[in-house]
Amino acid sequence: MRIRLFYHRGTIVIRGSAHIPFATWDERSRTYRALAYKYREIVEFLKQEGIEFEDHVLDNAIPSPFYDVEFDFELRDYQKEAVEKFLRFERGVIVLPTGAGKTIVAMEVIRRLSVSTLVVVPTLALLEQWKERLSIFGDVGEFSGKKKELKPITLTTYDSAYINAELLGDKFFLLIFDECHHLPSEAYRNIAQMSAAPYRLGMTASPERADELHELLPELIGGIIYEKSPEELTGRYLAPYEVVKIHIPLSREEKELYRRHYERFKSYVKSRNIRFRSPEDFQRIVMRTGSDENAFKALRALEQARRIAFNSKKKIERLRTILEKHRGEKIIIFTRHNDLVYAVSRRFLIPAITHKTDKAERSEILKKFREGRYRAIVSSQVLDEGIDVPDASVGVIISGTGSSREFIQRLGRILRPAPGKKRAILYELVSAGTSEVSVARRRKSGLR
């Protein structure tokens, strides 16, 4: 009996009597099934074994277009190399610094393959940015909470793609995951697993995750096939840059409060004989908070200590000096918490952007920043992904996490080349004598 392949609700249904190593028997349907992302491997296996089969998996896919378009830009050497690497493997992750033109790489891949394509992005703001760039191919679809359009090129967010994974799974030949480090999370990985798309491209400035789930990326979309660091592209393609770390002492009152809270946390850790060798060790304390009130109090004390270090008054004073020194340049100020965003905004009359800022206000602020009517903006983590301001040349990290990806993304905000831009500078304000010193050390580990 000839093997027949079908797509059904995120799976490949295999009708016939051949043994497929990627499939398991489903008693209810009396067929073998495999998660849809195994489709390519199943087809390759059947061809290698010389087994005849009928393939109906992508019968409902959006018809592939032919893109005979010319770009109004020329790909850089490394972008061409990245495209060729992908076309050779037809799946995999491309790692390029923020500002290096990952979108352009994706556009060339779309043009060269000319197949139906789903682009998955983290936010609606990024969706709009991609939509504008991809309009060169014609009418672009949007599949989000606002619209449900399926077209040869369709844009969606991770949230919408996850909710509709079964529906989208047999509609596209090419998946592109922007900021693909989001993909391995427990929910989002279903987007890749329930799709039959044979071509898969992931793009990020840094694939690593603190929870080690990035190790799932080779299975979901392929391993790293091309990578360039900021240093490799600095000078010719990205602005030369300098990172200046400034250690700032706490005031006497802050130092005493910090010590009191941090000692409370350390006391709990010592009493439970906990040693920190990996992020999982810290997560064990988090897991205990549901049943151990002392664990909850210890974590709360740690958070209070961190807030004191992150929000010290002398950091604000040093920020004033930096703003005066770089008067006339465009400056992006990064913090970890919203309360500090608003404090800086009020103190220096700088526009603020947080997750609470609505779309219209955010767009207006960024528009005026690009035009030079605003010379500085301050934000928490919402601008780590997606903002495109080529002539911003100064960044100030008042506070942040130990994530190397966050650091690379923030650095990338000021590395985009622009006429007359000679050098970029990123300041790190770090509270001396606190755990923030080790946090700052960890996040720079991603620069290589």
Nearest to residue 389, comparing CAs of 413, 412, 365, 423? 413
The dihedral over CA atoms of 159, 10, 90, 208, expressed in degrees to the nearest 10, equals: 40
Report domain extents, the chain.
3-55, 77-228, 241-249+312-446, 252-310
Note the pLDDT of residue 1: 60
φ/ψ (deg, to 5) at 183: -60, -40
State how far the Cα of 98 lies from the Cα of 103, in Å rounded to an integer.
Answer: 10
β-strand 91-95 against 141-143: which pairing, if any? unpaired
Q: Which amino acid is at 57?
A: V
Note the pLDDT of residue 387: 64
State how far the Cα of 90 lies from the Cα of 221, in Å rounded to an integer.
Answer: 10
Architecture of 241-249+312-446 per CATH?
Answer: 3-Layer(aba) Sandwich (3.40)
Note the pLDDT of residue 66: 86
Strand order in the sheet with 376-379: 241-248, 424-431, 392-397, 330-334, 376-379, 352-353
Sign of the Cα pseudo-torsion (442, 444, 445, 446, in order): positive
For 35-63, what is each residue's pLDDT tens digit? 999 999 999 999 999 999 999 999 999 99
State how far the Cα of 318 lies from the Cα of 354, in Å rounded to an integer.
Answer: 22
Residues of the chain with pLDDT under 50: none
Note the pLDDT of residue 196: 98
Note the pLDDT of residue 390: 65
| Number of other residues whose CB lies within 10 A of the CB of residue 436 | 25
State how far the Cα of 284 lies from the Cα of 266, in Å rounded to an integer.
Answer: 15
CA atoms within 13 A on the CB side of 338: 6
The CATH T-level fold of domain 3-55 is MutS, DNA mismatch repair protein, domain I (3.40.1170)
Helices (H), 140-292: 158-163, 165-168, 189-193, 217-220, 230-233, 252-271, 279-288
State how far the Cα of 417 lies from the Cα of 432, in Å rounded to an integer.
Answer: 33
State how far the Cα of 257 lies from the Cα of 341, in Å rounded to an integer.
Answer: 22
Domain 3-55 matches domain 241-249+312-446 at the CATH topology level:
no
Nearest to residue 312, comparing CAs of 261, 249, 377, 262? 249
Nearest to residue 11, comparing CAs of 195, 227, 156, 241? 195
Nearest to residue 217, comparing CAs of 194, 184, 243, 249? 184
Note the pLDDT of residue 283: 76
Contact 427, 396 (CB under 8 A): yes
3-state secondary structure of 216: helix
Q: Which residue has the tokens 């043994």?
A: 19
- The H or E element spanning position 41 is helix 39-48
The CATH T-level fold of domain 77-228 is Rossmann fold (3.40.50)
